[in-house]
């Protein structure tokens, strides 16, 4: 799947002697036709195995919709998050903690292929190199758009930032709700799972405590 984003300048005449410039934003989603077709065929058969009639009105386009949805929810396989970080690295002598907190994310549990979702909090202490703040959120987004478990997602975010930026330390905390625990199994609706991982200077308790205090946990 390819997601194309572009911005177009449009001139709309409001008066014969005057033009007003406005910006129009358009998002176009493109899905690989062969992959979509193959996935849709499988979902068609799944509906039949579940005892449904894929030919009834409400389900006619369901296999195709689910095929496209699954490609969107796993598009992270097609992108290297390290490249995203390296595209915006700047020399800077700042050596205090940089925190991007409350990053919303959605992912898919690899055990039951049900969603889990929550917030990620990421901190790093630069070693003469910083990256654009949005790139941290993009790393979370890319790695979460794969079949995941929360523990591995936490470590992958940490490792990606550590390898790309070579900071003095990285710490990641993720808080998430898992629908595989809410909709099935133990059915605990309000349980929250918290995971953390860290490197470098965050191995010291004082630095970890500063981070936890700053994110309000």
Among 52, 64, 112, 175, the one annotated catalytic: 112
Stated pTM of the model: 0.86
Same domain, residue pair 50 and 96: no
Is 7 a catalytic site residue?
no
Among 71, 141, 148, 150, the one annotated catalytic: 150
Q: Which token pair is 46?
A: 């799944």
Is 160 a catalytic site residue?
no
Among 29, 41, 45, 110, the one annotated catalytic: 110
Q: For residue range 128-171, what is the model confidence (pLDDT) as tens digits?
A: 999 999 999 999 999 999 999 999 999 999 999 999 999 999 99
Q: For residue range 173-213, what is the model confidence (pLDDT) as tens digits?
A: 999 999 999 999 999 999 999 999 999 999 999 999 999 99
Same domain, residue pair 67 and 117: no
Same domain, residue pair 31 and 93: no
More confident site: 6 or 120: 120
Which residues form the domain of 87? 83-214
* Domain boundary residue, one of 73, 98, 123: 73
**Whether the predicted pLDDT of 126 surpasses 90:** yes
Same domain, residue pair 110 and 129: yes
> How many domains, in total, are found in the chain?
2
Same domain, residue pair 68 and 91: no
**Whether the predicted pLDDT of 4 surpasses 50:** no
Same domain, residue pair 184 and 125: yes
- Residue 8 has a pLDDT of 41
Contact (Cβ atoms closer than 8 angstroms) between residue 127 and residue 168? yes
Is 177 a catalytic site residue?
no
User: Could you tell me if residue 124 is inside a domain?
Assistant: yes
User: Could you tell me if residue 186 is inside a domain?
Assistant: yes
* Domain boundary residue, one of 73, 101, 136: 73
Among 71, 141, 156, 178, the one annotated catalytic: 178
* Domain boundary residue, one of 50, 73, 96: 73
Among 52, 64, 175, 180, the one annotated catalytic: 180
Contact (Cβ atoms closer than 8 angstroms) between residue 144 and residue 153? yes
Is 178 a catalytic site residue?
yes
User: Could you tell me if residue 48 is inside a domain?
Assistant: yes
């Amino acid at each position: 799947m390819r997601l194309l984003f572009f911005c177009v300048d449009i001139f709309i005449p409001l008066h014969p002697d005057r033009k007003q410039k406005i910006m129009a934003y358009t998002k176009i989603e493109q899905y690989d036709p062969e992959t979509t077709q193959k996935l849709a065929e499988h979902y068609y058969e799944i509906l039949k195995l579940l005892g449904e009639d894929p030919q009834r009105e409400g389900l006619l386009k369901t296999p195709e919709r689910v095929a496209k949805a699954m490609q969107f929810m796993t598009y992270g396989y097609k992108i290297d998050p390290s490249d995203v970080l390296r595209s915006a690295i700047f020399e800077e002598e700042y050596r205090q903690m940089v925190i991007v907190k409350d990053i919303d994310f959605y992912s898919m549990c690899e055990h039951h292929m049900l969603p889990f979702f929550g917030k990620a909090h990421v901190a790093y202490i630069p070693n003469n190199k910083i990256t654009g703040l949005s790139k941290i959120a993009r790393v979370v987004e890319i790695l979460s758009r794969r079949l995941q478990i929360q523990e591995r997602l936490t470590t992958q975010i940490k490792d990606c930032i550590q390898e790309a930026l070579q900071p003095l330390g990285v710490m990641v905390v993720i808080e998430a709700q898992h629908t595989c625990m809410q909709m099935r199994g133990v059915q605990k609706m309000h349980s929250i799972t918290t995971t953390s991982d860290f490197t470098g200077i965050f191995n010291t308790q004082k630095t970890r405590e500063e981070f936890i205090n700053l994110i309000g946990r």
